[in-house]
Amino acid sequence: MDSPEHTIEVEKLYKRYGKVEAVNGISFKVAKGQIVGFLGPNGAGKSTTMKILTGYSRATSGIARICGIPVACHAHEIKRRIGYMPENNPLPLELRVREYLKWRARLKELPFRHRGKRIDEVMERCDLTRAQDRIIGKLSKGFRQRVGIADAILAHPEVIIMDEPTIGLDPHQVIMIRDLISSLQGKMSVIISSHILSEIEMTCDEVIIINHGKIVGQGTPQELRESFINSTIYELEINGSLADLRQSLKTLAANLDVDKFEEADERGFSKVTIRIPGNHDYGEMLFSCLSDNPLIRARSLRKRQAPLEDVFLAATRRSWETLDTDLAEHSESEDSDSEKTEMPAAN
């Protein structure tokens, strides 16, 4: 029954809430052991897609399969294979950490004789051992997020789905959770949604950008850059005026952008960026243009990757104009299917 290559398969998935198409015909696959990042502006449909994948919400139409098993008809079976950390990570605040994980292990039908050892292992992995006897309601947000992750990986699931696992954490905790997610690479298939684009770039093999319920970009961060960003950026440290720099670069490209992003230091060198249309290596030509101009002295030259933010903005910009209509429609539609504060079932 297991799909040989892909643990997650989604085909033409739709979810409608009244007039709002929260998920609008998306299809994608995630390979075994792959980490995929879900990016999208607020209301794009990320959480809705995740809830459908985990059997927590039903799709209006389309198919979602986990390890080859259709989620809609075998919700109980797929829950054994998924570890889910929902948005806002609802937890029973009155329980102690170990007590909670024991309860979850029982729900997840982990064999009794393995439970204690496995709970020790996940607590160790999530740096929770010292907090095992503490009441969840008295833990900091970072510790609670770790409890959510410990729960998600507890039963060795093949698929992990985490909805904004690092939201509200301080930079130390973000790094810790990022490392934890990276350590799952090759072992479990993971989908994480996040608004922290640098984090997605550091942890994920592939990125899926969703906007208005549709996939607007998909690929490795590098592939996305190539398809959405048609320019090459260099960072330079120069001693000289921007006007002279522009003059010396005019043979390189007609419409390049030159911007100063750091004022001159005590030796008169300031940092500038040059954005040249096209995806090429202009390094050698830049050196040659600069050395031909005696009014410009260059101290360093470095090619810079376009930030993932630029890719995200380019990919989502196309459908912004429909946002007003979407919001107007949404305000009319309410749905009883509001599961946001409930506890997840066994997964």
The residues of the shown chain that bind ligand ATP, judged by CB under 6 A, are 17, 20, 22, 40, 42-48, 87, 330, 335, 337-338
Enumerate residues 6+ apart whose C-beta is below 8 A from 308: 197, 198, 200, 201, 207, 221, 224
Report the chain's C-alpha Rg in angstroms.
24
Residue 338 CB, nearest distance to ligand ATP (Å)? 4
Residue placing its CB nearer to ligand ATP in the complex, 20 or 155: 20
Residue 337 CB, nearest distance to ligand ATP (Å)? 5
Q: Is 111 exposed, middle or buried (0-12, 13-18, 19+ CB in 10 A)?
A: exposed
Residue placing its CB nearer to ligand ATP in the complex, 211 or 248: 211
Q: How far is CA 222 from CA 25, 304, 305, in A?
A: 25, 12, 9
Residue 319 CB, nearest distance to ligand ATP (Å)? 13
The closest of 51, 60, 103, 102 to 79, measured between CA atoms, is: 51
Please provide the DSSP assignment of 175-222 as one string.
HHHHHHHHTTTTTSEEEEE-S-HHHHHHH-SEEEEEETTEEEEEE-HH
Residue 174 CB, nearest distance to ligand ATP (Å)? 17
8-state DSSP, 324: H
Residue placing its CB nearer to ligand ATP in the complex, 67 or 190: 190
Residue placing its CB nearer to ligand ATP in the complex, 163 or 206: 163
Residue 253 CB, nearest distance to ligand ATP (Å)? 38
Tell me how far apart the alpha carbons of residues 18 and 329 are, in angstroms, rounded to a whole number: 9
Enumerate residues 6+ apart whose C-beta is below 8 A from 186: 33
> Is-contact 183 207, C-beta < 8 A?
no
Residue 22 CB, nearest distance to ligand ATP (Å)? 3
Residue placing its CB nearer to ligand ATP in the complex, 22 or 150: 22
Residue placing its CB nearer to ligand ATP in the complex, 130 or 317: 317
Residue 42 CB, nearest distance to ligand ATP (Å)? 3
Three-class SS state of 309: helix
Residue placing its CB nearer to ligand ATP in the complex, 53 or 290: 53
